[in-house]
Each structure stands twice: as structure tokens, then as C-alpha cells.
Amino acid sequence: MNSSVPPAGASIAARRPWNRLLRRLNPAAWLLLGLALREVLSFWTGQQYDFEVWIRNAYWVGPGVTPYQVFLPAPHLSFAYLTVALPSVGFLPLWTMILVGIYHGYLALPWSSRWLAYFLLKQPEVWGDVLLGYLLYRFVLRESGREDRARGILAFWMLFPYPIIIAAMWGQFDSLVTAFWIAALLAEAAWVSGSLLGTSIFLKFLPLIALPYHLVRDRGKGVVLVLVACAIPILGTAAFFLAFHWSLPGFEGLVNAQVHGNSGGMTYASLLESPYLSPYLEPTVFYTAFSYLWIPVVLGVGIWAARRFSVRNAEATVQAMLLILIAYMLTRQDVYEQIVIYLLVFLLLDCVLWHPERRRHLAWVTGVATVYLLVNQDLLLQLLGPLTPAALTLADSANGSPVLGPLRNVGLIVLGLIFTAVLLWLAWEVARSPRGRRGMALRAEENGAARRGPAPGS
């Protein structure tokens, strides 16, 4: 017998400590553990551009001061670009007003500290990520009826480094956006689902890509869902503009940013817009067409997915969301690390509930995205600006180096090409998957999924 082959049952034995831990800690304990881990990393970290923009929004925006303009540093709060004005957010006003509300709550406290301000401004991101973990638990429990699988995905998310870095350290709120999106899928009534999805869109435009699918697949219910989901961000934005007397100039910058996007990103777009290729492409034709490409592609894939995965159940919906997200990421020119959160959530649900064989896709997506995150954020130095300006100085020096700078740029391009290949591979697998007419137990029996080992987090 080959000594390199582990004896039967060895893998199960190796999993016993993890299984005992899963049984010992109830969902509330996992949530508290995940919350504590994120809070510890929150108050002394922040991405040197994005979190700095949150700080300036919180400080400056108010009655008569629109968020869609350039802002100077916030006195006693800013930690980066201390002499440079920065443009504001590219989102609808809900996120900005959440930040403004938190800042005014901070001003009402009897003591002041920039560390306390940073801690408070991180709470929506931190609690959004913890809430997302709980909703994943509820989703798996509802669809599988198995407490062990539900508790497994909760534990996995609470300890998963990638969303912890994005939410607690970087300060991005995409987990909060995704939490409302998942809650919309858990809701039964069309108007409730539409309200939750509309709130998600009000925070960030990205969940808008799901609307064509629901409109075509769900028909009458889909019309209600889409109307409510569109009404909330439209009416909410109008209400903020009227209540705070904001002027419209500058708002077109938001629309332009959401339609066209920015250059670069973690797919092949980084190569197309790099100095290695851009001089050979016609900017006025190619780049204009490329900036609009995601709109017809996402619309077409959404309609196709509504016919391919037409069954009204969670499995079909998750398969469709995976395809639509991949189509968006392959045709949008500014796909960055935080966007991967949406893909990871739906792929993780798919692996745990229906397709455990796709764990290899999950591993590749997570692995490449994590390496890209580390390289793009200079081994996380760009997230340590609140702690010490020396971290940002060191990162800028490395990027400006005649050796390390080009090496980093080439590395990001290579990683973008690898990530594109992984997305295409995953898209091919999802497009070939069953239409969602069979349940989890039947598929496990037919395909032998149970014999291939546990799904991530199980």
C-alpha cells in the first residue's frame, strides 16, 4: 500500500476538532466572536483614499453642502492627503447621510478623539459584515434544514480574512449592501423583497444588475419588486436633495462614474488601459464603447438567465446571480477588491447548498483576489494610514521606485488576467449547471456530492 495515501477516515478525524468547536459554539457566540475580531481591527485602520473620503463627507456635508463636490481635509480628523482636496463619493446620498448622522452623534459625546470617530464611522461596515454572516446562516438553514451546515457557513464567514480586511480594515460597506440583497432573497412578499433590494441599491448601484432577471422571470411579482426597488433610491435621493437644499451641479459626476466607471481594475481591463496597450488603441472609439459594454451584456445575460434558470427557487436564483455578477465583472472596467464580496457570497452559498464540487472555484476566486488585494494595497500598508503616516510614505516610496513600481504594475496586470480566466471558468461551469428543478438531497445522491467531502465552512 502506498504510504503517501492517508488511511480511510483520516480526513474525518482531522476535522473532528473543528466539528467539536462548531457544536460547542452556538450562532450567537460565533456572531460575537466575529464582531469582536472586526472591532479590534477597525479603529486604527482605513484605506488612505476611501476611508479618508468617508471622513470628509461626515465632516463637511450638511444643509446646503452637497456631497457631490470636492472637499478639503477635515480638521483634526483627516489622516491622508492633508494638503490635497479630494472628490466626494460616487454613490447616492444614503451612505453619506449615514456617515453624517454618525459624526453628529460623535459630536454629542462628552469627549472627542479621532480614534473614537474612526471607530464609530466603521460601525456600519463592521455590523454589516456580521449581519451578512447571520443572513447566510438563515439562508442555508432555510434551504437545507441542517443546523450543522448553517452554523458552518456562519463560522466560516466570521473567520474569513477577505471580508474582514475589506470591511473592518479598509472601511468598505459592500457587506452591508450584500446583506440587504440576501435579505431580499429571503423575503416572501414582493414588496418586502423590493424594499430590501431598493435599500441595497440606494446604498450602492451594483444590485441594480439583478432587476432584469427578476422582471422577466417573476412577471407580475417581478414588476412589483422592480417598481419598489427603483422607487426607493429615486424618491429617497429626491427627498435628500429637497430637505437639505442641495444643488444639482456635481450630481452628473455621480451618474458619469456609475455609467462609465473608472480605469483599471482587477480583470483584463487593467491591461487594456495600461501604458503597454493604451497608446495603440483609439481612445475616442474603443474606450467609449468599452465603458458602455457592461450595460447591454448584463441586460442580455439577465434575460437569458431568467429563461435558463426559470424555476422560482433559491437554487435557480443563486445560479442566475452568479452568472449576472460574472458578466458584470467581465465587462465593467473598474472591478476592484470590494466587488469580489458579492461573488464570494453567492458562490459560497452555491458550494454549501448545491454544488460542493465548486469549492475549487471558490478557492481560486479567493486566492487570486487575496493576492491582488495584498499587492494593490502594498501588503496592507495603505490601510495603516490612521496608525502612522510612515506606512503611507513607505507605500508611496515603493510605488515610485524604478524597480518595485513597474514590478507591482506588471504583477497587477498578470493577476487581472488570471482572475479573468477564473471568472470565465466559473461562468462556464455555472452555465452548464442544472436548471434548479432538483433538490439538494437528490443531486447529492445522483452526483455523489456527499462523497466528495464537506463544503466550505461545513
Q: Domains of the chain: which residue ranges?
A: 44-121, 261-458
Strands 70-71 and 86-87 come out as: antiparallel
CB of 68 within 8 A of CB of 254?
Answer: yes
pLDDT at residue 151 is higher than 90: yes
Q: Write down the pLDDT at residue 234.
A: 96
pLDDT at residue 438 is higher than 50: no
Average pLDDT score over residue span 140-163: 96
d(CA 223, CA 229): 10
d(CA 137, CA 443): 21
Could you tell me how far CA 333 lies from the centroid of its own chain?
Answer: 16
pLDDT at residue 446 is higher than 70: no
Cell of 441: 438531497
CB of 240 within 8 A of CB of 232?
Answer: no
**What pLDDT digit, counting tens, does each position of 26-37 carry?**
999 999 999 999
Average pLDDT score over residue span 96-107: 97
Average pLDDT score over residue span 49-72: 94
Q: Write down the pLDDT at residue 1.
A: 38
b vs e for 170-195, b when ≥16 Cβ sit within 10 Å of the residue's Cβ?
Answer: bbbbbbbbbbbbbbbbebeebeebbb
Average pLDDT score over residue span 422-444: 72
Label residue 457 by pLDDT band (50, 70, 90).
Answer: very low
Average pLDDT value for the chain: 89
Q: In 332-403, which ranges are continuous DSSP H helix?
A: 340-353, 359-376, 389-400
Average pLDDT score over residue span 295-317: 95
Q: Write down the pLDDT at residue 448.
A: 45
Q: Where is mean pLDDT largest: 13-27, 379-393, 435-449?
A: 379-393
Beta bridge partners of 65: 62
d(CA 188, CA 200): 17
Quote the percentage of the chain above a pLDDT of 90: 76
Q: Write down the pLDDT at residue 159.
A: 96
Q: Write down the pLDDT at residue 16.
A: 67
Between 440 and 92, whose confidence is greater?
92
**What pLDDT digit, counting tens, does each position of 268-282 carry?**
988 887 877 777 776
pLDDT at residue 257 is higher than 90: no
Label residue 283 by pLDDT band (50, 70, 90).
Answer: low
Nearest to 236 by CA among 70, 100, 97, 102: 97
Q: Write down the pLDDT at residue 426.
A: 97
Quote the percentage of the chain above a pLDDT of 70: 90
Q: Write down the pLDDT at residue 275.
A: 78
**What pLDDT digit, counting tens, does each position of 66-81 carry?**
999 999 999 999 999 9
Between 350 and 11, whose confidence is greater?
350
pLDDT at residue 447 is higher than 80: no
Q: Write down the pLDDT at residue 220.
A: 86
